[in-house]
Amino acid sequence: MIRKVDIAIIGAGPAGMFLAHLLHQHGRSVTVLEARDRDYVEGRVRAGVLEQSTIDVMARLELADRARAEGLRHLGVNLVMDGESFRIDLGEHTAGAGITVYGQQEVMHDLFEASITRGINVVFEAENVSLPNFSNSDRSSSAVCVRWQNGGKDEELECDFVIGCDGSHGVSQEYIPSTESRTYVETFPFAWLGILAEVPPASEELIYGSHAHGFTLASMRSPTRSRYYVQCAIGDSVDAWPDERVWNEVELRLGPSMSRHVTRGASFDKSITPLRSLVMDPMSYGRLFLAGDAAHIVPPTGAKGLNLAVSDVTVLAQALGEYFDTGSERALKAYSSVALARVWKAQRFCWWFTMLTHRNAQDSGYRQQLQRAEFDYLRSSTHQQQVFAENYVGLPLAGSIQ
């Protein structure tokens, strides 16, 4: 007998698991299909900066206690260019708003643990997920069939809607015809090399640095664990970046005043991530909806990836709730345009911040002078700092839970 649920979610990352909890809170039956095992998904080193709106959603889901107790609340951020530094007071410019440093690994742990307690069905190691009847599954049809394999056994269920939360390389995007959507892509000519080390942070707040050698970011995961990034070439390998080279570049790019508090130590995680932007429009087709990285990618400079995923699924959960409660498709039809309005604002900020802080050997002297002028203007203009602050802490969350 084929199982029936209201919604099938493909992908158990932040978008998929936040959505599962939101829908469960609304009384909907959900199955989440994840290609990897829990240890892999929970252990991925990803985002660490949460907007206040994300913390608010976690609180409404009764998942924020540990983030509030163990997360690091920041009301400011530091910027450095060629050794010259200044601080932007986020709280002053946003009526007390700030960000919370709490690693995605910890967020996923909280989501998974609560899913067990609440009986949310998460199927790990679900392979070869497919939607065999999707070509005929517009909203007038009765159900969508979802198939996969688990432990060598074929599985199948029927659902009213499928939500693709499986990232930019997942299967969900394949079911939206190219003739029915447009994909906007921007590829940046550099990458980030990131390390984790069991050393105290260089500062109580994040430091974004720009130097002739490139960008660097001094971040943290806890009072004893630090996360550092340095701009590198796209073709670089981690083997070309032994720890000593990373620390040398971090200190050089931060400049004397900021680097004096850097504590060196052996890294226990090291990876390289190319920077790119991607947006799919629309984020839906028939009974299939996309959310999070399946629909859009932002460069990590603005720390928006996880937060945009939460924004998407908050809007989508409300739209699905309205459909199941009243039969109205009004909110479902508006989902893509509502979500994309916030996505494009985040894209704008991340692009601007990336271009402000990164260096490219191919840039003309004119481009370099513009970058310097932009930095000086940000440092001297209260208005410009307010614009930065309100974007950095997060613009208002469309479709917020009432």
**pLDDT class of 143 with cuts at 50, 70, 90:** confident
In this model, does residue 400 exceed pLDDT 50?
no
CATH number at residue 120: 3.50.50.60
**Does the annotation mark 392 as catalytic?**
yes
In a domain, residue 32? The reply is yes
Q: Answer whether residue 193 is part of any domain.
A: yes
Q: Catalytic one among 21, 74, 296, 358?
A: 74
Cα separation of 228 and 399, whole Å? 34
335 is catalytic: no
Average pLDDT, the chain: 94
Tally of domains in the chain: 2
Q: How confident is the model at residue 2 (pLDDT cuts 50, 70, 90)?
A: confident
Cα(321)–Cα(160) distance, integer angstroms:
12
Predicted confidence at residue 63, as pLDDT, reads 98
pLDDT at 401: 36
**Mean predicted confidence (pLDDT) in 67-78:** 97
Q: Of the listed 14, 282, 299, 300, which one is catalytic?
A: 300
Please indicate, yes or no, whether residues 152 and 36 belong to a single structural domain of this protein. Answer: yes
pLDDT for 250: 98
Q: Give domain status of residue 89, yes or no.
A: no
Question: Of the residues 207, 240, 274, which one is the last residue of a structural domain?
Answer: 274
**Whole-angstrom Cα distance, residue 261 to residue 324?**
55
Residue 68 has pLDDT above 70, yes or no: yes
CATH number of the CATH domain containing 223: 3.30.9.10
Q: Is residue 76 classed as helix, strand or coil in its secondary structure?
A: strand
Distance CA(399)–CA(314), nearest Å, equals 6
Q: Tokens 């629909």 — which residue?
A: 295
Do the Cβ atoms of 278 and 305 come closer than 8 Å? Answer: no
Q: Which of 387, 354, 329 is nearest to 139 (CA)?
A: 329
**What is the CB neighbour count within 10 angstroms for residue 365?**
7
Question: How far is Cα 234 from Cα 178, in angstroms, rounded to an integer?
Answer: 28
Among residues of the chain, what percentage have pLDDT more than 70? 97
How is residue 263 annotated by DSSP?
A: -
In a domain, 256, yes or no: yes
Q: Is the pTM of this model over 0.85?
A: yes
pLDDT bucket at 137, cuts 50 / 70 / 90: low
For residue 219, is it within any domain?
yes
Q: Are residues 44 and 163 in the same domain?
A: yes
pLDDT band at 190 (very low <50, low <70, confident <90, very high): very high
Are 220 and 120 in a shared domain? no
Catalytic member of 208, 228, 285, 335: 208
In angstroms, the Cα distances linking 229 to 77, 178, 241 are 16, 36, 12
**What is the reported pLDDT for 402?**
37
**196 pLDDT more than 80:** yes
pLDDT of residue 140: 57
Q: Which of 231, 132, 148, 144 is nearest to 191 (CA)?
A: 231
- For residue 156, pLDDT over 50 is answered with yes
Q: Is 228 one of the annotated active-site residues of the chain?
A: no
Residues 195, 268 share a domain: yes
Question: Rounded CA gap, 339 and 322, in Å?
Answer: 16
- 2-22 mean pLDDT: 96
Q: What is the pLDDT of residue 139?
A: 56
Set 228, 304, 323, 358: catalytic member: 304
Tell me whether residue 376 is in a domain.
Answer: no
- Average the pLDDT over 110-134 and give the result: 96
Which of 135, 52, 50 has its CA nearest to residue 96? 52
**For residue 25, what pLDDT band results from cuts at 50, 70 and 90?**
very high
- For 273-304, the pLDDT digits (tens) are 999 999 999 999 999 999 999 999 999 999 99
Q: 217 and 258: one domain?
A: yes
333 among known catalytic residues? no
Mean pLDDT of the region 352-378: 93
Domain extent for 326: 3-48+103-181+282-360
Provide the pLDDT for residue 361. 80
Structural domain contains residue 384:
no
Instruction: Provide the token pair at 319.
Output: 């739209």
**Residues 249 and 231: beta-carbon distance below 8 Å:** no
Considering only residues 44 and 183, tell me which one the structure prediction assigns the higher pLDDT.
Answer: 183
What is the rounded average pLDDT of the residues 225-235?
96
One domain, residues 111 and 170? yes
Region 227-238: mean pLDDT is 96
Overall average pLDDT of the 59-87 stretch: 97
Q: Is residue 211 part of a domain?
A: yes
Residue 274 bears catalytic tag: no
